[in-house]
Amino acid sequence: KLPVVAIVGRPNVGKSTLVNRFIGRREAVVEDVPGVTRDRVSYPATWTGRQFMVTDTGGWEPDAKGMQASISLQAEQAMRSADLIVLVVDATVGATATDEAVARTLRRAKVPVLLAANKVDSERAEADAATLWSLGLGEPHMISASHGRGAADLLDTILENL
Ligand code: GDP
Ligand code: MG
């Protein structure tokens, strides 16, 4: 059975874009409008000859328990089912209250948790990402899921921890 990497985070931070980069295809649906509900979908991925499954967590139910509760639920689900979790945060926005709540949940995880600071499209944006150390999940791995910046290093780190 292949190890499972779960990608979690708020809507619109770039989870599906990152999943597409990991699988080398455009299968995960990228939405310009946040809040579209989708189920969790897993795709096989290969990096440096090693195979794993990557799970894209979907949207949230706007009329259910609210976004924060839904994302925290996704994180708890990932803590039970994944071998490694990547929390994606939008570095151009910084840590929101929801990001902090999810990070608090993930700090209890028994599996490795990596923090991805996405939308760091240029060197100039790296300063924003540095503030994400405050989430207490260690080093923010600076990436640009849409440009590919930092993606190889993040994949190396994932496989080192898998
Ligand atoms: P998800 O809701 O977390 O799955 O986010 P999506 O992958 O659907 O992306 C949401 C929006 O952010 C889309 O318009 C993407 O094109 C954009 N986006 C994703 N990654 C990046 C990035 O690295 N840089 C920038 N500038 N935009 C990004
Ligand atoms: Mg998505």
Pairing of strands 50-56, 41-47: antiparallel
Give yes or no for residue 162 having a pLDDT over 70. yes
CATH label of the domain that carries residue 132: 3.40.50.300
Q: 138-156: per-residue pLDDT in tens?
A: 999 999 999 999 999 999 9
Give yes or no for residue 60 having a pLDDT over 80. no
User: Once rounded to an integer, what is the mean pLDDT over residues 14-42?
Assistant: 77
- The ipTM estimated for the assembled molecules is 0.99
Residue 87 alpha carbon to ligand 1 centre in Å = 14
Residue 11 alpha carbon to ligand 2 centre in Å = 7
- 105-136 burial, b if ≥16 CB within 10 A, otherwise e? bbeebebbbbbbbbbbeeeebeebbeebeebe
pLDDT of residue 161: 98
What is the count of structural domains for the chain? 1
Report which secondary-structure segment, H or E, holds 81. Answer: helix 67-81
Radius of gyration of the chain (CA): 14
Ion ligand 2 — residues with CB < 5 Å? 15-16
Rounded CA-CA distance 154/156 in Å is 5
pLDDT of residue 59: 57
Report which secondary-structure segment, H or E, holds 80. Answer: helix 67-81
Q: Are 47 and 159 in contact (CB under 8 A)?
A: yes
Q: 69-123: per-residue pLDDT in tens?
A: 888 888 888 999 999 999 999 999 999 999 999 999 999 999 999 999 999 999 9
pLDDT band with cut points at 50, 70 and 90 for residue 62: low
pLDDT band with cut points at 50, 70 and 90 for residue 11: confident
Q: Which atom of ligand 1 is nearest to the CA of 11?
A: 2
Structural domain span for residue 143: 4-161
Residue whose C-alpha is closest to residue 30's, from 88, 100, 102: 88
Give yes or no for residue 33 having a pLDDT over 70. no
Q: Are 119 and 14 in contact (CB under 8 A)?
A: yes
pLDDT band with cut points at 50, 70 and 90 for residue 32: low
Establish whether 41 is an annotated binding residue: no
User: Once rounded to an integer, what is the mean pLDDT over residues 126-130?
Assistant: 90
pLDDT of residue 37: 47
